[in-house]
Structure 1
Amino acid sequence: MSTQLSTPVNRQTVSALSQSKGEPAWLEEIRTKGAELAETLEWPTPEKVRIGRWNLTAVGAHKPQDAIASAEELPEAVRELAGQSPAGLVVQRNSASVLRQLSPELAAKGVIFTDLETAAREHGDLVRKYLFQAVPQDENKLTALQSAIWNGGVFLYVPKNVEVELPLQALLYSDDAEAAFAPRVLVVADNHSRVTYVDNVVSTYGEAAQPVTKPTIVEVIVKPGAHVRYATVHNMGDNLVDLTVRRAVVENDGRVEWVIGDLHDGHTLSETQSLLKGNGSSSDAKVISIGSKSQQMSLTTGAVHFGRNTESDMVTRAVMKDQATAIINGVTKIEKGATKSNGQQTEKVLMLSPKARGDANPILLIDEDDVKAGHAASVGQVNPEQVYYLMSRGISKKDAERLIIYGFLTPVVTEIPIDAVREQLQRLLERKLEG
């Protein structure tokens, strides 16, 4: 891909975008500030992956979309991903909202589940309070650019002491390579609340689509005693560069769980991090990925312990085939004063081709003595002894290898909280493994 490092927007273009949507003045100001920052800041520099060689500026233009009355009106290619009678559903096409649904019971309890643009107009004080609390605008060119051009997005707010039993779902899909695809997700779980959020991120461009860059920022705010489970599956074409930053701020006794299926076909920069600010806070992250063809991926999972008695666990499992490359980083940071904390991580890479490359890099940064921390990492091929054992039971070599690969990935697949999404993930695994 070509190298394009200039900034594709400026103050005037994002101001016009904001005004065309009727956004509040404070949001227009944020967008224009992001455009100015993007002109001076540098792109992220992930280890051993030169994203400067990717096309990073093909961000497209905002294109309004017609609303639909129900998920039945969705194209057949994505209709099944909307789920069956969910408690809440947000659907966006090319980062423009086309459908918003929330059960009357949850709405009566004060739950807000809508697109972020609508939330900024109708719940401005709430959105303004939490936006950019986990991922600041000025962190790098990616965060600044995304803060300027995001469209659609998702906003989920769960009030104090409210437990949402059924998962809330979002479907974010793109079928126009010239349209912007830059969603921003903000999840806020107030004190002692509980919620599960699941999204599917999909593209259906067809053959020979032009390059697309998808910058995405996810912010999760977990207030004291709250519990958030965040699950996502990415399934997009090889013409798309996926740049996604996910970050959670977790307060006293709060908990965040990440379940991430990075099954994108194009180049990927994925960073998922939990900031354990409060005493007794905890984080659990499970990431699965399959690389194929000449795909390049940088997958980083991290936890930063600030509070006392905090716990984190991170598991990443990746399968590399063809000439795919993956740099997998696990970063556990325990700050001074985070006594009695415990951080564990595991990164495992299974390579199916001699030309594939997978690096697993466990990183422990410990500034406190009274803590526990551990890591495990492995990079290897399918175990021939396991294949031989299965073949001795009458199973063909191809099926034996497939069973071993599925078993390798099962610890993450089984964590998907919705049957339909888990089944979709399994289909994607089969597609990518079979080529």
Structure 2
Amino acid sequence: MPTLDKPAFDTATFEAHLAEWSALPWLQDIKRSNWEAFQTLPMPSRKDERWRFSGIKNIDLDTFRPASESTPEQKEALLARSNLVTKGAGRLVFADNRVTAFDPAAQELLDKGVVWMPLSQAFKEHPELVQKYFLAEDQKLGSDKLLALHNAFFQDGAFLYVPKGVEIKDPLCAYYWCGDCEEAVFPHTLLVAEDNAKVDFVDYYGSAKETACCPSLSIATGTIHAGSGAQVFRKIVQNLSPTAQSFQVEANAAGRDASVKTIAVNLGATYARLENQTRVAGPGADVKMYSLTVATGEQEFDQRTLQTHAAPHATSDLLYKNALMDDARTIFSGMILVEPDAQQTDAYQTNRNLLLSPTAEACSLPGLEIEANDVKCSHGATTGEIDSDQLYYLRARGIPKKIAEQLLVFGFFEEIIEKIDNEELKDNLRNLVQSKFQESE
């Protein structure tokens, strides 16, 4: 395994990276302030309530260095694997922080004002537009130091801007690939839907080496800004190699009467933390936050969520489902926060865990903080084994135990998969989940 004589993320490495952005002084200022923050902020600790029960103590940032550019052969192979959706409105493929392929949006959409391009290009061609939304949402779920590192070293990402009243029927897709051992990638997705716009988006995070024997690091962020009446549906698939370490930080905002829906599918990495916070900023907004996780071996999935209601007459609904095998662990910690002016809020939060092994462990910490007096809010968590009667029914019909368990787990997850409105994507996600079970056998 490669080793480093000194921390890769040092001042000399940062200054060399910063010099690449000399044409954008405002972005250099952002990067410089985040680098200073990274140096002063402490590493997360389980003593912090936001990291309670987490395995963060096993993460050593000094192990990693910024990713080097992939070879042409590697890029070609990754491009062929970037195929979750074959009929899309546009595609971006990134390998080791750099653009590998860019399929632009149709001219018809461009003529309507749609902006779809690598973030590095948008910084130069649409600086005022990007600056209005870039890093505009505060992060509150604990990954301050990791986000500071991301903001200091990110190289590229996907930028989508959909003007008022424009609808994009087919999904746009961004693929982020992580390459060599002990390398770090910093994917960044920024999605802006103006009033009454409609868009469907897919993010995929994967590893070039599916059976890597040494760790890699992904610190990814994604942000949705949904204007009044906008409809945004984003799917996030994390399928990194079994030795990768993943931090996924989402911060979304929903305006008046907006509909924001996210589905996270979590399969890869030895340690994966998903933070998903949504600010329900406008009256009448409707937010849905869904997740399914398959945890095997000694994987740990650390899930933290925040539903902040800042406006009245709005709704939110969260459903996170986890299936755990072997010695896997999941942590779910969620909070519904209702601010004083958010009267007649209707909010729900549910975490369901299915244990397929006596040594698997699921921790659930749902919570409510309500400052308004006319609301309807609830939370709940369940943890249990496969229903013995259902398992007996399948086995009595000649189905082997392992396959019967898989069928029951697929049924457990189908409630979430069925919410996806693209049949091809549904089938591909089912195949990914099935492959995860086969790998664990």
Assess same fold via TM > 0.5.
yes
Q: Residue deviations 1:168-222, cap 9 Å, x none?
A: 1111112323543111111111111111111211102255543222111111111
Q: What's the counterpart of residue 88 of structure 1? A: 90
The one-letter amino acid paired with 2:125 is: E
The one-letter amino acid paired with 2:55 is: R
Q: CA deviation at 1:59?
A: 4.2
Q: Counterparts of 2:99 and 2:205 in 1: how far apart (Å)?
A: 14
Q: What's the counterpart of residue 20 of structure 1? A: 20
Q: Counterparts of 2:431 and 2:60 in 1: how far apart (Å)?
A: 29
Q: What's the counterpart of residue 108 of structure 2? A: 105
Which residue of 73, 76, 92 corresponds with 1:74?
Answer: 76
The one-letter amino acid paired with 2:193 is: A
Q: Residue deviations 1:23-43, cap 9 Å, x none?
A: 411111111111001111234
Farther-moved stretch of structure 1 (92-101 vs 391-400): 391-400
* Aligned 8 A contact 1:11 1:33 in 2: no
* Aligned 8 A contact 1:192 1:225 in 2: yes
Partner of 1:180, secondary structure, is strand
Q: Counterparts of 2:418 and 2:7 in 1: how far apart (Å)?
A: 41
Unaligned regions of 5+ residues in structure 1, if any?
none
Q: Residue deviations 1:218-256, cap 9 Å, x none?
A: 111111111111101111112211011101011211121
Q: Counterparts of 2:191 and 2:7 in 1: how far apart (Å)?
A: 28
Q: Counterparts of 2:163 and 2:381 in 1: how far apart (Å)?
A: 40
Q: Counterparts of 1:128 and 1:146 in 2: how far apart (Å)?
A: 17
* Aligned 8 A contact 1:112 1:157 in 2: yes
Q: Counterparts of 2:102 and 2:83 in 1: how far apart (Å)?
A: 15
Q: What's the counterpart of residue 364 of structure 2? A: 360
Q: What's the counterpart of residue 148 of structure 2? A: 144
Q: CA deviation at 1:12?
A: 5.1
Which residue of 263, 271, 277 corresponds with 1:273?
Answer: 277
* Aligned 8 A contact 2:220 2:248 in 1: yes
The alignment-based identity, stated in percent, is 27
Q: CA deviation at 1:285?
A: 0.8
Unaligned regions of 5+ residues in structure 2, if any?
none
Q: CA RMSD in A?
A: 2.5
Q: Counterparts of 1:394 and 1:51 in 2: how far apart (Å)?
A: 44
Report the CA distance shift for 1:139/1:60 in structure 2 as closer, same or farther (over 3 A).
Answer: closer
Which residue of 51, 57, 60 corresponds with 1:55?
Answer: 60
Q: What's the counterpart of residue 290 of structure 1? A: 294
Q: Counterparts of 1:395 and 1:58 in 2: how far apart (Å)?
A: 46
The one-letter amino acid paired with 2:426 is: R
Q: Counterparts of 2:7 and 2:40 in 1: how far apart (Å)?
A: 9
Q: CA deviation at 1:398?
A: 3.0
Partner of 2:185, secondary structure, is coil
How many residues end up aligned between the 2 structures? 428
Q: Counterparts of 2:393 and 2:172 in 1: how far apart (Å)?
A: 43
Q: What's the counterpart of residue 37 of structure 1? A: 37
The one-letter amino acid paired with 1:90 is: L
Q: Counterparts of 1:166 and 1:141 in 2: how far apart (Å)?
A: 36
Q: Counterparts of 1:314 and 1:59 in 2: how far apart (Å)?
A: 34
Partner of 1:52, secondary structure, is helix
Q: What's the counterpart of residue 375 of structure 1? A: 379
Q: Counterparts of 1:9 and 1:149 in 2: how far apart (Å)?
A: 9
Q: CA deviation at 1:397?
A: 3.1
Farther-moved stretch of structure 1 (224-233 vs 38-47): 38-47
Q: CA deviation at 1:392?
A: 3.7
* Aligned 8 A contact 1:10 1:36 in 2: no
TM-score normalised by structure 2 residue count: 0.90
The one-letter amino acid paired with 2:39 is: E
Q: What's the counterpart of residue 126 of structure 1? A: 129
Q: Counterparts of 1:67 and 1:100 in 2: how far apart (Å)?
A: 15
Q: Residue deviations 1:330-385, cap 9 Å, x none?
A: 22111111100011111100011111101122211111110001122110111101
Q: Counterparts of 2:34 and 2:334 in 1: how far apart (Å)?
A: 29
Q: Counterparts of 2:295 and 2:211 in 1: how far apart (Å)?
A: 20
Partner of 1:132, secondary structure, is coil
Report the CA distance shift for 1:308/1:154 in structure 2 as closer, same or farther (over 3 A).
Answer: same
TM-score normalised by structure 1 residue count: 0.92
Q: Residue deviations 1:5-28, cap 9 Å, x none?
A: x98535553343133255411111
Residue pairs, 1:396-415, within 5 angstroms: 396-415=400-419
Which residue of 313, 320, 343 corresponds with 1:316?
Answer: 320
Residue pairs, 1:165-314, within 5 angstroms: 165-205=169-209, 207-314=211-318
Report the CA distance shift for 1:208/1:282 in structure 2 as closer, same or farther (over 3 A).
Answer: closer
Q: Residue deviations 1:86-124, cap 9 Å, x none?
A: 211111111101211222121111111111111111111
Farther-moved stretch of structure 1 (394-403 vs 23-32): 394-403
Which residue of 164, 167, 187 corresponds with 1:163?
Answer: 167
